[in-house]
Structure 1
Amino acid sequence: MKTVLILGAAGQIPSFLIPQLLKQTDFNLKLYARNATSRLHVTDPKRETVIDGDFNDHDTLNQAMDGVDAVYLNEMRDITSVKNIIQAMDANHVRQFIGATVLGIEDEVKGAFGQWNTSMIESSITKRKTTAKAIEDSDLTYTLLRLAWLYNKDGNTNYELTESGEPFGGTEVTRQAVAQLIIDILNDNSRKFARKSIGVNEPNTKFDKPSFY
């Protein structure tokens, strides 16, 4: 039975990911976040373990990695945190890493939308280029998710993927769809997502900016 560690488990994507992992899989979950015990509601205590900690808490992070098969990181803003996570995974022989990052880190967003996207999140792109490189330079079996602009819509789990070197496919995607993609990656045994950076968008959303802007 696989054990998945969700780092940043109190975030918005995990709010959809956690219940769907419990519903669709038999995985055990470790839920790691600052003040996690007060921010997270456990529905299956036999399968969910809540851990209070931040990414600079080396001892707690190392303890959290014990017995883990895969790690999902919900935020890749801070290079020190990402390096700490890589170090903890290496020390505990945890190989599979899935990380949520942003579109634009490979200069892959073209046209009017690309210009709008850069004007909106240029500083975020710069920071996440650095954290993505740290992951790519590691020996982890990583999958980086370059996410389009996020919104919520129950029942909409449609996603479209683009590879590195391809133009980004659309402007937006639901958090529900991202959660489903993460589950699909965790369930995949073919290694088709291994050591890849993939663009993630909703099909048929090639707009000049997200529809909710």
Structure 2
Amino acid sequence: MKTILILGAAGQISRYLIVELLKQTDYKLKLFARNASKRIKVTDPSREEVIDGDFNDKRALDTALDGVDAVYLDEMRDLKAVENIVSQMDAIGVKKIIAATVLGVEDEVKGKFGQWNNAMIASSIERRKKTAAVLKKSDLDYTQLRLAWLFDDDQNTDYELTQSGEPFGGTEVSRQAVAKLIVNILKDDSGKYARKSLGVNEPNTNFDKPSFY
């Protein structure tokens, strides 16, 4: 039985991911977040372990990583935090990580949407490029998800993927679709997602900006 560590387990994507992993797999889940015990409601105590912690606390990360088969990181905003996570994974010997970031970290968003997106994320894109570089330079079997603009829709779990070097495919994608993709990656043992940076969007959403803006 696999054990999955979800870093940022109180995040919006993580909440959908937890539900789907409990439904579709027999995996045990370690749910790591600041004030996790107050923010996360456990529905299956036999499979869910809640851990209060901070990404910059190496001792807490070591404890959380013990016995883990794979990691999902809900956010790559903080450079020092990402460096700590990669370092502690190396130290413990955990190889597989799926990490969510924003579209645009590879300058892959073109046209009018690219111009709109660059303006919207201008204040944070350079920092996120640096965190993406930390992952790429590591020896981990990472899968980086460059996510289109996010919304919630339980009935919409369609997604499509683009590879590094390809133009980004669309403007938006549901958090439920992203959770579905993460489950698929975690269940895959072939290695086809290893050391990949994937653009993630809903098919047929080639708009000048997301439909909800």
Q: TM-score, normalised by structure 2?
A: 0.99
Aligned to 2:161: 161
Indicate yes or no: 2:5 matched with 1:11.
no
- What count of residue pairs does the alignment treat as equivalent? 213
**Paired residues for 1:196-211 under 5 Å:** 196-211=196-211
Alignment partner, residue 123 of structure 1: 123
Deviation at 1:57, TM superposition (A): 1.1
1:156 positional shift? 1.0
Distance 2:124 2:161 in 1: 21
Read off the aligned partner of 2:37 and give its amino acid letter. T
Rounded to whole Å, the distance in 2 between the matches of 1:113 and 1:60 is 40
In 1, the alpha carbon distance for the partners of 2:205 and 2:176 equals 16
Q: What whole-Å deviation, never above 9, does each CA across 1:144-175 have from its counterpart, x for those lacking one?
A: 00000000001211000000000000000000
Q: Which amino acid aligns with 2:154?
A: D
Alignment-derived partner of residue 185 in structure 1: 185
Aligned equivalents of 2:190 and 2:84: distance in 1?
28
Deviation (angstroms), 1:190: 1.5
- Alignment RMSD: 0.6
1:67 aligned residue: 67
For 1:28-177, list aligned pairs within 5 A.
28-177=28-177
- Using the alignment, how far apart are the partners of 1:193 and 1:126 within structure 2? 25
Give the secondary structure class of the aligned counterpart of 2:18.
Answer: helix
| Aligned-residue identity in percent | 69
Q: Which amino acid aligns with 2:58?
A: H
Q: Which consecutive unaligned segments of at least 5 residues does structure 1 have?
A: none
Q: Please report how far the alpha carbon of residue 91 of structure 1 lies from its aligned counterpart in structure 2 after TM superposition.
A: 1.1
- CA–CA separation in structure 1 for the residues paired with 2:144 and 2:124: 15
Distance 1:126 1:210 in 2: 22
Question: What CA distance in whole angstroms lies between the structure 1 residues aligned with 2:41 and 2:33?
Answer: 12
Instruction: Find the aligned partners of 2:183 and 2:44 in 1 and give their Cα distance.
Output: 18
TM-score w.r.t. the length of structure 1 is 0.99
- Residue 8 of structure 1 deviates from its aligned partner by 0.3
Q: What residue number does 2:195 align with? A: 195
Q: Which runs of 5+ in 2 are unaligned?
A: none
Question: 1:52 deviation in Å?
Answer: 0.2
**Partners of 2:34 and 2:189 in 1: CA distance:** 32
Q: Which runs of 4+ in 1 moved over 2 A?
A: none
- Using the TM superposition, give the Cα deviation of residue 123 of structure 1 relative to its aligned residue in structure 2, in angstroms: 2.3
CA distance in 2, matches of 1:46, 1:87: 30
